[in-house]
Amino acid sequence: MGLDEKDLNTLEITNSIHRKTLLNLAKTQFHNNLSVVFKSHREIGGVVVYETLSKWKFSSSFQVLEFADFMKLHRNLLIYERRPKGKRRSVERGSVCIPPLPQNKFSKVWNQRTIDAKNKQMEELQIYLNQIIKSVDDNEHNDELLLLLLRFFMLI
């Protein structure tokens, strides 16, 4: 299965960049839907950060995000949701379900930064993202919302 040099010769693909790209794509897995998985968390300079792995189509992205990044995403999602239907919005108001953002448990209280608390925060953020992604998957007309998420997770 897959492509090899002989297949590329048969298809008469001679450009070396095209050949290399096609051979690399043949090795990667295809993910039809957007998926985001939290891999771990750690503390850097007093800030709790989350390592995420995102996949969509043939793209994947590994990012280290802090809670402020999720606040920015949530703010952009709310702006998207409240924008009236018109030229720039193809989805009816209310058809997108933006769940509430989990609270940042570590903003002021330093002594609560236990491993269990960090794991719980990471689980809550995973549930939050899963709900948003499900909302995108359930409505095929959410192209703008999907684009917003793909840009946030650096998949396009």
Paired with 65 in beta bridges are 50
Paired with 35 in beta bridges are 55
So what's the pLDDT on residue 26?
A: 77
So what's the pLDDT on residue 63?
A: 96
So what's the pLDDT on residue 74?
A: 95
As a whole number of angstroms, the distance between CA 66 and CA 49 comes to 4
As a whole number of angstroms, the distance between CA 138 and CA 67 comes to 26
Residues of the chain with pLDDT under 70: 1-2, 84-96, 107-113, 141
Query: Could you identify the residue written with the tokens 């448990």?
Result: 105
- The tokens describing 66, both together, are 């802090």
So what's the pLDDT on residue 111?
A: 56
Those residues whose C-beta lies under 8 Å from the C-beta of residue 56, and which sit 6 or more positions away, are 31, 33, 34, 35, 150, 153, 155
Q: The dihedral of CA 66, 71, 77, 80: what is its sign? A: negative
